[in-house]
Amino acid sequence: MKFHALFGALALACAPAAHADATPADMKTSPDLLTSTSTSTSTSTTTSAASATASSTSTDLPGDTSGRTSGRTSGRTSTGTFTDTLAKAIADGKSLSGLRLRHEGVRQDGKALDAHATTLRTLLGWQTAPVQGFALGAQLIHVGVLNDDYDNGDRGVVQPGKASYPRIADPDYTAINQLYIDWSGLTGTRLRAGRQSVKLDNVRFIGNVEFRQVMQVYDGLSVENKGLLPDTTLFAAQFDKLTQVSTLKQDVNISIINARHALSPTESLTGYGYFVDWHAASLAATSTQTLGARLDGSRALTADWKLQYTAEYAQQTPYANGASSIDNHYSRLGAGAQYGSWYLRVDQEVLSSNGSKAFQTPLGTNHLFQGWADLFLSTPTEGIRDSFISAGGKQGEFALLSEYHWFHADRPFALQTGGTGRRYGQELDLSASWSRGRWMARVEYARFREGDPYSGARKRDTDKLWLTGMYTF
């Protein structure tokens, strides 16, 4: 199926119209999103109590031209006018800069040594204000490694001499992180061309993996509209290159369609289609199309109490050169209660298996799902059923977040000791953070304990600790 025509039709059809943006409720997310300095396209701009400490960073869509300069200044030459206009666009722009210092420690059964990574990520960038509807954004990234006691997974492989260490996927790296041109000449519409960060919904399927020091960014064209349809945000994109957190740059054809309709200011219904065609010979057979729908929100019961809920389903089948055996589904059901800024909820997420293939989310911010220990970034062949409870909230400048997961296979797997089992294990995740203005500090801990010894990629006992400090400027 070709999406270039549909993409172009959407861009041309985005006529000016008034629109009030909505705020979907449930978004289980990393506290890093609280102070993210990446400029991201996002159809989700706020979060529920399920992540009461965090919010997704997104670029607002200009709704009028009141902030634009006309380019006519009495008594000035055309050269002077252009220079003044450019200077004003830069001065009226916004920073995309920040520093993030982090120490991550990992102890994992089966590895002879503990891993310790101290890294500093520097983002330096700026986005201009619009001039005649056009704006420019540019951002450099540098990840400096302050010690070398870990396998950094650079380019997706074990580093020489580091096989005895657990992996911490934060290699040293310097590059252009984002470089794009925006056009907002139509009310409620923004076209973006170039390298960009993208986050959709709860970043389960499309995200920028900004928890890691090297972010995932996309090269291509995207369009977002608020106003073509009442109370609906439309997003479409066509990307041809992907930079992953391992620093690998993949040639890929990614087509995205996402439509979110606001049922109320805190409730939404989203339909989406994600089409991924990997060009690398080693990945071509994993090319997929994913079609799904998501109902998510919170509803006030009293002045203090709210009901939270999430229901989502998606089907994944082959796309382009994808293997014919790809045929699986995704589901999530959850509900909870929120009192003030504090919440408690219960959820189950299923990534099914048909025996030979399992549902995969290769473009998602997978660190935020199925536990923070990152043992299920790729779904095992037997699939996974993650039943978990989460609780947290915010008091003043402090925020707390906790989760407990029970991981089971969707189908029985072979045990190393013989026979079959289903229990991958259990995990406890804890986070405490403090934020004030441009500053943020956080401590996080993940503790995974193995269940039945899986004969495939065994999920061994793992403890992880993160200490993070961040300053945006």
| 373, 380 Cβ separation under 8 angstroms | no
pLDDT tens for 100-124 read: 999 999 999 999 999 999 999 999 9
> Beta strands 173-183 and 462-472: pairing type?
unpaired
Helix (H) or strand (E) segment spanning residue 316: strand 305-318
In eight-state DSSP terms, residue 216 is P
> Beta strands 305-318 and 288-300: pairing type?
antiparallel
pLDDT tens for 359-415 read: 999 999 999 999 999 999 999 999 999 999 999 999 999 999 999 999 999 999 999
Q: Which residues does residue 289 pair with via DSSP β-bridges, in sequence order?
A: 275, 317
What's the pTM?
Answer: 0.85
CA distance 170 to 167: 9
**Confidence class of residue 35 from pLDDT cuts 50, 70 and 90?**
very low
Structure tokens at 220: 């291509």
Tell me what percent of the residues of the chain surpass a pLDDT of 70: 83
CA distance 260 to 35: 25
| Residue (of 75, 107, 42) closest to 460 by Cα position | 107
What confidence score (pLDDT) does residue 60 get? 37
What average pLDDT does the segment 286-296 reach?
98
What confidence score (pLDDT) does residue 82 get? 81
Q: Which residues does residue 255 pair with via DSSP β-bridges, in sequence order?
A: 238, 275
Single-letter amino acid, residue 249 = K
Residue 34 has pLDDT above 90, yes or no: no
pLDDT tens for 204-213 read: 999 999 999 9
- Whole-number Cα distances in Å, 311 to 29, 35, 266, 385, 422: 17, 28, 15, 15, 25
What confidence score (pLDDT) does residue 457 get? 83
pLDDT tens for 434-467 read: 999 999 999 999 999 999 999 888 899 999 999 9
What confidence score (pLDDT) does residue 37 get? 39
For residue 106, how far is the Cα from the chain centroid?
Answer: 23
CA distance 154 to 161: 13
Structure tokens at 45: 């701009």
Cα 54-386-444 angle, rounded to 5 deg = 40
> Beta strands 267-278 and 134-145: pairing type?
unpaired
Residue 181 has pLDDT above 90, yes or no: yes
In eight-state DSSP terms, residue 56 is -
Tell me what percent of the residues of the chain surpass a pLDDT of 90: 80
Residue 38 has pLDDT above 50, yes or no: no
pLDDT tens for 304-330 read: 999 999 999 999 999 999 999 999 999
Mean pLDDT of the chain, nearest integer: 87
Structure tokens at 251: 């040639």
Domain limits, the chain: 4-67+95-472
Question: On the CB side of 67, how many CA atoms lie within 13 Å of its CA?
Answer: 19
Structure tokens at 190: 């923004």
CA distance 25 to 403: 18
- Whole-number Cα distances in Å, 151 to 15, 148, 170, 216, 262: 51, 8, 9, 19, 44
Please give the torsion angle defined by the CA atoms of residues 41, 45, 310 and 331, in that order, rounded to the nearest 10 degrees. 10
Say which CATH class 4-67+95-472 falls into. Answer: mainly beta
Residue ranges of alpha helices (H) inside 92-147 are: none
